[in-house]
Amino acid sequence: MKQSEPRIRKAARVLGDTISFRDATTADAEFILSLRTDAGKSRFLSATDNDVGAQRAWLERYAASEDQAYFIIEFNGDPIGTVRLYDAQGGSFCWGSWILKDGRPRQAAMESALMIYAYAIDYLGFNACHFDVRKGNAGVIKFHERFGAQIVEETDLDFLFKLRLEAINESRRRYHEFLSGSVIVEDGK
């Protein structure tokens, strides 16, 4: 009997060592919009209109969707960023919409990336990852390459990456000081 392919599911909360993710709601529209329209942070994002009503409408559509998970990243209960899982393709998932605000804790980038991998692999059952990064976003490109991501294609705007399970697991071991194990997942609302 063929095992079914993994699928992306939402979680109420995902707990790491020092930060947590919680499912995004329409109440987060202003915070999300503040990140997506920040001049420094939006240089490498798809364009977003500065329209809180449109952001709320997107979040309403998200709430009804069943093929993605969009999280607010929190530290001590305060929102510090966003991250999204989407575009499941067989055993591979995509992640993006990863934005962290200025003044966040030093470990937030590394811990949130490790949490995405722990959630997707340990909890959802994926075994690979794919994503795209704007060509000019050198810091993020270097970050993903340190995890073992490889460029497999490119468009005019983006590099398209793949990351195999072996590389993800090796990075989880190498950077274990940022996330000591897996994550705790709280389902339901």
Q: What is the pLDDT of residues 155-189, one digit of tens each?
A: 999 999 999 999 999 999 999 999 998 899 998 65
Element holding 23 (H helix, E strand): strand 19-23
Mean pLDDT value across residues 20-44: 88
In the chain, where are the structural domains located? Answer: 13-186
Secondary structure, 3-state, 129-158 = EEEEEECCCHHHHHHHHHCCCEEEEECCCE
pTM for the model stands at: 0.93
pLDDT given at position 41: 65
> In angstroms, rounded to a whole number, what is the distance separating the alpha carbons of residues 145 and 131?
12
pLDDT given at position 40: 72
Give the CA distances from residue 85 to residues 5, 103, 121, in Å, rounded to whole numbers and listed in that order. 16, 24, 12
Q: What is the pLDDT of residues 88-132, one digit of tens each?
A: 999 999 999 899 999 999 999 999 999 999 999 999 999 999 999
Element holding 113 (H helix, E strand): helix 108-118
Mean pLDDT value across residues 11-34: 97
> In angstroms, rounded to a whole number, what is the distance separating the alpha carbons of residues 69 and 23?
7
Mean pLDDT value across residues 42-56: 79
Architecture of domain 13-186: 3-Layer(aba) Sandwich (3.40)
pLDDT of 49 above 60: yes
pLDDT given at position 85: 97
